[in-house]
Amino acid sequence: MLGYLKKILYVLPASNFHLLLAAFVFILTSGVEALGIGILGPFIALASDFDMIERTPLLSQLRDSLGIAQESHFVALVGLMAVLIFLLRTLIVGGTQIFIARFSNQQQRALIIKMARGYLEAPYIYHISKNTSAIIDRLIEIANTFSTLVFMPLLIALANTFLFIALFCLLCFTSLPMVIALLATLLPILLFFNSLASKVRGWGRQMRESKADIIQIVNHAFGSVKETKVIGCENYFENQIIYQAEKLEKVQRTFVAFKLLPRFFMESILVIIVVAIICFSVLINEEGIAETTSVLGIFTLAALRLLPAINNIVISITQIRASSFTLNQIHYELSELDSLRYRTEADRQQKASVLERKPMPDTKFNAGLNTIQEAGVSNTFRFDKQIRLEGITYHYPNSDKPVISDLSLTISKGDSIAFIGKSGAGKTTLVDILLGLLIPQSGDLMVDNDSIYQNLRAWKDLIAYIPQSIFLTDESIEKNIAFGVPEHLIDRKKISEAIEVAQLTEVINALPNGLSTLVGERGILLSGGQRQRVGIARAIYHDRQILVLDEATAALDNETEKLVTDSIASLSSSSRLTLITIAHRLTTIKNCDKIYMLDAGEVVKSGNYKEVVENVRT
């Protein structure tokens, strides 16, 4: 249990102060609730026996100080005071419930932000091995499950535990034999339900896995809905969803039924105990139960409130146990993200230390924008002359075989260069290193004699990346060009310039809503060539000096490819833009200044198109 609480505290974004404040609120509420119930018993006894006023010095002094002559009027006043205290108790208890819901929702919001920040800041190598649907599931579903089925039940259990302690003390003060009888009956039932803890955890794991599987199946089915419909595999995905939905429904039905059982057991037992006490009192006292009215009143009211408290504790513990799989998942995920962040920062600082350069301070994101401000350091790189790769060696985690081996080359500003080679030669890995996504185990990447590892964010601000399939959001063309910029900060003049350079003017003019035209999910409403030119316009808008094209025209027909190539050539000639291309279609790199042929992570041939490509063919 202690380990479970440690995991919850690790996951929770709340500070210790807020947790202590919550505990104080629960203790205060429990005391007030016990007071509200405890005062009703004496009032019932007073209303049934006015002589109590004379026998109780406090009551007689209060009556005399208020100047009330008639005992019935004094009893009515005491009743009014009891009602006011009970109403105060109701307000405080209601406020506590609102506090629990609000506090839990605040933690859910903070947890989603915390996880989203962790995923966004995680290094590229982390995302290579992760499934997108799993990240979506963890970010939305698991965060919600933690809030509603772990943290909120924990708060409810704590609040009701404090209430249980307060009412238990009240009952012990009122009638200890009754309390012993109640405990002797309830404890075996609670121990029985506690013995089923492993089954509850198993049900929780099955529910969590089924929900995650449904998200993954939906992602597979609609991720490429065209292929799904053409191949005709709708029934395949539907049957998978039906299987998981039926599995989820069966487990949830069992779990809900199990949660309700303690309440019915305890309600029956409570009625039996109260009736038994009354019957016992009648049997030992032939005049009835008048003398025990006060005790029975307090016991009955307290027990009626104690029953929901015990039931809430049992249900909350059941929910927490059922959600232990979720807690383990989110704890592991956050631990992994934290470990990756520290490891990445350590690698960067080690790289800077090895290069005898001072590591940069931690970066801070500017609100809403993907720009970085670093204390005391310029957030821009000067790129006036060349990029140098010096002895770059890289191997992926869990592998000792280098994908890039002691590679060195120089790229002058304004050059157009290309990497070619068969699959597995290391082209994509080399480009990922150039993009600053992968940090080599040895070697350095220099820009005008400055290592990019001093300030990776500033280096990335020089680069635009255009893959074979450009990513477009289901928004307007304007928002896709100004990708990552809040709408109110979009520079319309820069948008117009980018459209003109990317040769998109005619396309925009032909659209019904111009720049406001929605492109559909992943840009499905645009042709392949139009999507690629939107990617080029995006690079222009963000003022990037280096353009990396990763098979950017491989999926296009010849005519569309020529349009995109012309856009790139126009861009290259109109500015000192540096172009880095990965290509299988060799006709697209004829005009490159230099071509590098890679094999097994090494440059085996370099030169112009004639020296590298045509000579190889002949």
Are β-strands 416-420 and 463-466 bridged in parallel, bridged antiparallel, or unpaired?
unpaired
CA atoms lying within 13 Å on the CB side of residue 525: 14
- The token pair that represents 228 in the structure block: 């799904």
Q: Is residue 368 scored above 60 in pLDDT?
A: no
Q: Is residue 506 scored above 80 in pLDDT?
A: yes
Residue pair 432/550 in contact by the 8 Å Cβ criterion: no
Helix (H), strand (E) at residue 495: helix 492-501
Enumerate the CATH 1.20.1560.10 domain ranges in the chain, comma separated.
14-338
Q: Is residue 575 scored above 70 in pLDDT?
A: no
User: What integer is the mean pLDDT of 172-177?
Assistant: 73
3-state secondary structure of 584: coil
Give the Cβ contact number of residue 54 at 10 Å.
Answer: 11
Q: How far apart are CA 23 and CA 1, in angstroms?
A: 18
3-state secondary structure of 1: coil
Q: Is residue 419 scored above 80 in pLDDT?
A: yes
Please report the pLDDT score of residue 141 as a whole number.
73
Query: Of the ranges 70-74, 135-139, 341-345, which one carries the lowest mean pLDDT score?
Result: 341-345
Per DSSP, what are the bridge partners of residue 34?
none
Per-residue pLDDT band at 572 (split at 50, 70, 90): low
Please report the pLDDT score of residue 306 as a whole number.
73
Q: Is residue 28 scored above 50 in pLDDT?
A: yes
Unique residue bearing structure tokens 């939305």: 140
Query: Of the ranges 35-39, 75-79, 161-165, 391-395, which one carries the lowest mean pLDDT score?
Result: 35-39
Q: How far apart are CA 218 and CA 43, in angstroms?
A: 62
User: What integer is the mean pLDDT of 480-486?
Assistant: 84
Please report the pLDDT score of residue 587 as a whole number.
74
The CATH number that domain 374-617 falls under is 3.40.50.300
Greatest CA span in the chain, whole angstroms?
123
Q: Helices (H), strands (E): how many in the chain? A: 25, 12
The model's pTM is: 0.61
Choices 1.20.1560.10, 3.40.190.80, 3.40.50.2300, 1.10.10.10: CATH for 14-338: 1.20.1560.10
Residue pair 440/403 in contact by the 8 Å Cβ criterion: no
**Alpha-carbon distances, residue 210 vs 204, 206, 234, 238 (angstroms):** 10, 6, 20, 14
Per DSSP, what are the bridge partners of residue 580?
417, 548
**Alpha-carbon distances, residue 612 vs 427, 562, 578 (angstroms):** 16, 23, 20
Q: How far apart are CA 33 and CA 184, in angstroms?
A: 25
Report the amino acid identity of residue 71. E
Please report the pLDDT score of residue 108 as a whole number.
80
Cα 508 to chain center, whole Å?
38
CA atoms lying within 13 Å on the CB side of residue 508: 20
Write the pLDDT tens digit of every residue in 459-477.
888 888 888 777 787 888 8
Q: How far apart are CA 320 and CA 153, in angstroms?
A: 7
Per-residue pLDDT band at 231 (split at 50, 70, 90): low
Per DSSP, what are the bridge partners of residue 547?
464, 579
**Pure H helices in 122-151:** 124-128, 132-136, 143-146
Q: Is 552 exposed, middle or buried (0-12, 13-18, 19+ CB in 10 A)?
A: buried
Buried b (16+ CB within 10 A) or exposed e, 295-331: bbbbbbbbbebbbebbbbbbbbbbbbbbbbbbbebbb
**What is the pLDDT of the chain when averaged over all its residues?**
76
User: What integer is the mean pLDDT of 366-389?
Assistant: 55
Per-residue pLDDT band at 365 (split at 50, 70, 90): very low
* CA-based torsion, 350, 354, 359, 364: positive or negative: negative
Q: How far apart are CA 541 and CA 509, in angstroms?
A: 19
Please report the pLDDT score of residue 20 as a whole number.
80
Cα 384 to chain center, whole Å?
42
Per-residue pLDDT band at 229 (split at 50, 70, 90): low
Query: Of the ranges 169-178, 245-254, 352-361, which one carries the lowest mean pLDDT score?
Result: 352-361
What value, to the nearest 5°, has the Cα angle with vertex 404 and ends 402 and 407?
130
Q: How far apart are CA 99 and CA 107, in angstroms?
A: 12
